[in-house]
Amino acid sequence: MPTVYITEPGTLLKVQGKSLHIWQQQELRLRLSLSQISQIIILTHTHIAPKTVKFLLSQEISTLFLTSQGEYIGRLENDTNYTPQYLAKQVQRSHDKEFIRATAESCLWAQLHNQLILLKYLTPCHINSRLQMAENFLTLLMDDLATAHSLKELREYATSAGSFYYPAFAFLLPHQFKFQRRSSCKANPINLLFNLGYALLHQQIHCFLKSAGLHPDWANLYKESNINSPLAYDLMAEFRALLVDELVANLLNSRIITLKHFTLPDPQGNVELHIHALKLFLQHWEEKLTTIVNHPRAGEVTYRQCLQLQVQEYIAFLLGDVEHYRPMLISHPASQTQINITEELAPIPLMMVKR
């Protein structure tokens, strides 16, 4: 059990011996061996005994605090005297404009490509003008990325892509959700699911970066952004559509999650997931991470392992062992258990852009 999710209010966490004890209403509900735990994600009000905090820090078990709506609160980590294995190389590469540009463009190109493939996969037989326009625009942006003059302009490309992609994506979801555009606000149930899914994806990559010896603050596409763990944001770009967007579409279209799983809007217009629905989402998220896929360089692995492999791919490019960062490119999504992942896709090949 690599990840422990805490969703019940008033939970108490205690470490006793080599085990984590999870108490609820003064009753011991679960006892887990600490050797089995890679991270703890807390999505509700939780008490952590002081000795437990100290122990989690000493054992480098990342503990993330989120709201049930996917908002980042904080992370319990011990960075005292923390010097990642590849920090010196990351600092050196931070002055290499060619490296930064090539990595940023590769990550963003892969994000647009995978969004395009997901739209095509989910689109019904008779495509409408909105879907066709989004597909055409994403293709145009992919062709045009090399002409962007700066990282800021590359990020603007991502924003422009989202303004077409998400409204088209909305057309493929149940209409009663009235989803129109992507936003970090909590007023729409679908945005809440996106926020939660992206936060979980970010945390998983953050943990893999730290365990691999990378410092998550030294990024490329988001190097100029004041966000938490920007390198994780870089590497999650290519996985947004693969892991989160497709999961949200499947949960809603299969009616596993419906409007009844959300609270009525509060005075500010915000909604929340009921606890049982939150648990349902987390269950399907974990199932998604354990889905078997065919990786071009490693064979059949889980999605969770794919995230680790892409961190290693980044290290290989960081060290100069490969000519460019090779992101995850799909030919069709993994709705059930299998996808095909390609390293190159004609007629728009991925290449390192030199400036």
- CA 64 to CA 38: how far, in whole Å? 12
Q: What is the pLDDT of residue 2?
A: 82
Is the domain of 106 the same as that of 65? no
Kindly state the average pLDDT of the residues 136-140: 95
On whether both 191 and 269 belong to a single domain, the answer is yes
**Cα dist. 103→2, 16, 144, 202, 326 in Å?**
29, 44, 16, 18, 9
Claim to verify: residue 205 and residue 56 sit in the same structural domain: no
286-336 pLDDT, tens digit per residue, is 999 999 988 878 888 999 999 999 999 999 999 999 999 999 888 777 654
The domain that contains 43 carries what CATH number?
Answer: 3.100.10.20
So what's the pLDDT on residue 182?
Answer: 87
d(CA 185, CA 183): 5
Q: Are residues 151 and 199 in the same domain?
A: yes
The domain that contains 161 carries what CATH number?
A: 1.20.120.920
Split at pLDDT 50, 70, 90, the class of 126 is: low
pLDDT digits (tens, 9 = 90+) for 140-196: 999 999 999 999 999 999 999 999 999 999 999 998 888 878 877 777 899 999 999
pLDDT class for 1, splitting at 50, 70, 90?
A: low
Strand order in the sheet with 340-342: 299-302, 292-295, 340-342, 329-332
Taking each helix axis from N to C end, the angle separating 246-253 and 97-122, rounded to the nearest 10 degrees, works out to: 20
13 with 107, same domain: the answer is no
% of the chain exceeding 70 in pLDDT: 93
Average pLDDT of the residues in 226-237? 94
Please report whether residue 349 resides in a domain.
Answer: no
Least confident of 9-18, 29-38, 121-130: 121-130
Count of domains observed in the chain? 2
Within a domain: 351: no
Higher-scoring residue by pLDDT: 343, 295: 295
pLDDT at 247 over 80: yes
Q: What is the pTM of this model?
A: 0.91
The overall average pLDDT reported for the chain is: 89
264-279 pLDDT tens trace:
888 888 889 999 999 9
Domain that holds residue 190: 87-342
Residues 51 and 165 placed together within one structural domain of the fold = no
- Look at residue 354 in the predicted model and tell me its pLDDT: 34
